[in-house]
Amino acid sequence: MGYPPLEELLPKSGYSIYTLVRIASKRATELADGKPSLIETSANAKTATLALEEIRAGKVVLKELAEQFMPSVGKKGSGSKERQGTEETEAAVA
């Protein structure tokens, strides 16, 4: 497993490297604490790399950006932050 391209990760963090690092750090900590992976990967993948791959795959998103990556089918009202089929990290990045 190689390193995910930054060009694919930045849109998932609102084009902020700081936010990307915060999301990946929070998710890597969750993985290290025993939470299950949201994607299939090799057994020797490091938690930080796995977190970035999950972000790249759209499995982990910042709550404030969740609607941007939600499929148009199943969206509720414009104020809804409900996700369907994808987990969100509880990263609270201001």
> Is this structure's pTM higher than 0.85?
no
Closest CA to 23 of 53, 46, 67, 3: 53
SS3 80: coil
**Are the C-beta atoms of 65 and 12 separated by less than 8 Å?**
yes
If one counts the domains in the chain, the total is: 1
Picking from 2, 41, 1, 6, the residue whose alpha carbon sits closest to that of residue 20 is: 6
Q: Residue 90 maps to which CATH number? A: 3.90.940
Nearest CA-CA partner of 82 in 61, 57, 51: 61
What's the pLDDT score for residue 45? Answer: 87
What does the alpha-carbon distance between residue 27 and residue 33 come to, in Å, rounded to a whole number? 10
Per-residue pLDDT of the chain (94 residues; tens, 9 = 90+): 677 889 999 998 889 999 999 999 999 999 999 999 999 988 888 999 999 999 999 898 877 776 766 666 654 554 444 333 444 455 433 3
